[in-house]
Amino acid sequence: VDRARNQIASLINGKSKEIIFTSGATESDNLAIKGVLEFYKDKGNHIITCVTEHKAVLDSCRTLERNAKATVTYLKVDKYGMVDPDDVRTAITDKTVLISIMYANNEVGTIHPIREIGKIAKEKGIIFHCDAVQAAGKIPVDAERDGIDLLAMSAHKIYGPKGVGALWVRSKGPRVRLTPMIDGGGHERGMRSGTLNVTGIVGFGKACEIAQHEMSDENVKLLELRNKLQAGLFERLDEIYLNGHPTERLPGNLNVSFAYVEGESLLMGINDIAVSSGSACTSATLEPSYVIRALGVNEELAHSSIRFGLGRFNNEDEVE
C-alpha cells in the first residue's frame, strides 16, 4: 500500500501521504465537495462548478442545494465545451469556498484551462477541486503546477482494477481539511475510515507507474490513430460534426455527431466496435447527452452523437 501511494502520488507530483484511498472517483468527488462544504461552513457555502461536469460532481452539488447547505453557480461552456477562466473569476463571491472544474471532459475530451483557474483560486484563497479521472495517466497532470488542492482519480480509467480510486488532498500551502463522510476507525488521516482494498490499491499503483512510463509514447500513438479515424470518417461521410475542442482535447477521444441518424440505432448497427452515445454513467437514460447539449448542439444532432475511445491496445487495423 505504501508503494502504491508513492506510485500514485508520483503520477500527479504530490506527496504519498496526501493520497486518500476510496472506492473510486465518484466517492472521491463526493468526499471532496461535501467534505469541504461541511468543514468550511463558517467561511461560506458557495460552490462554483460547470454544466458539463461528471454526474458525481453535479449530483453532489444538487444534493447540497436541495438540503439548503449550499448555493451553486453552474458555469456555461463555449461551443468547444471549455470553461472561460474569466467566468470563474466573475462568479466568485465572499461566500465562495470551493471551485470544482474537471481536468478533461469524459464525453467530448476537451481539456479545461486548469492552470489559469488554479491561479485564480490561489489568488482568492479558495479551495480548488479537480476531477482528473480522464486526465491523470493520459496527459501530464501536475497538481502543484496547476494550483489544484483536491484531485480525484479512478484506477480503471488507466487499466487498473475497478472499485478503487483516490482523492489527493493537499497537505500544505494551504493544508486542506475535510469532514469525513464515513466514520469509523480513523483510517486515511481520518478522512475515510474502512479497511483498505489492498489488492485494488496494488493494481492502482502499478497502473499509475506504467502510465507514467508509457504516457508520452502512448500519446503520440493515440493521436495518430485518432487523426486517422477522424480523417477517415470526415473524408467518407457528409453531415458529420466534431464535438469538443479540435486541438485542446484528450488524444484518445473522438466525439462525432452524424446528422439524420439516430444515435442508438447507429450504436446497434456498429457490431464489432464498442462505442457509446453518452457517458457510461448515464447509459440508463435515452435522453441526449447533457454535455453535447451544453455545447449548443441541437437536440436532434445531440441524439446522433457517438463517442469513440481509443486506448493502449488499439491499432491501425481496428481504426480501418
Q: Answer yes or no: are the C-beta atoms of 49 and 61 closer than 8 Å.
A: yes
Q: Answer yes or no: are the C-beta atoms of 222 and 252 closer than 8 Å.
A: yes
The residue written with cell numbers 457555502 in the block is: 45
The CA distance from 46 to 69, in Å, is: 9
Give the three-state DSSP class for 20: strand
Which amino acid appears at position 39 of this protein?
F
Query: Of 307, 172, 298, 317, which Cα lies nearest the Cα of 242?
Result: 307
For 97, the grid coordinates are 469556498
Please give the positions annotated as active site: 281
Q: Please name every residue paired with 207 in a beta bridge, in sequence order, or none if there are none.
A: none
267 Cβ partners below 8 Å, 6+ apart? 275, 276, 277, 306
Query: Of 241, 59, 97, 93, which Cα lies nearest the Cα of 174?
Result: 97
Half-sphere exposure of 164 (CA within 13 A, CB side): 26
For 59, the grid coordinates are 449530483
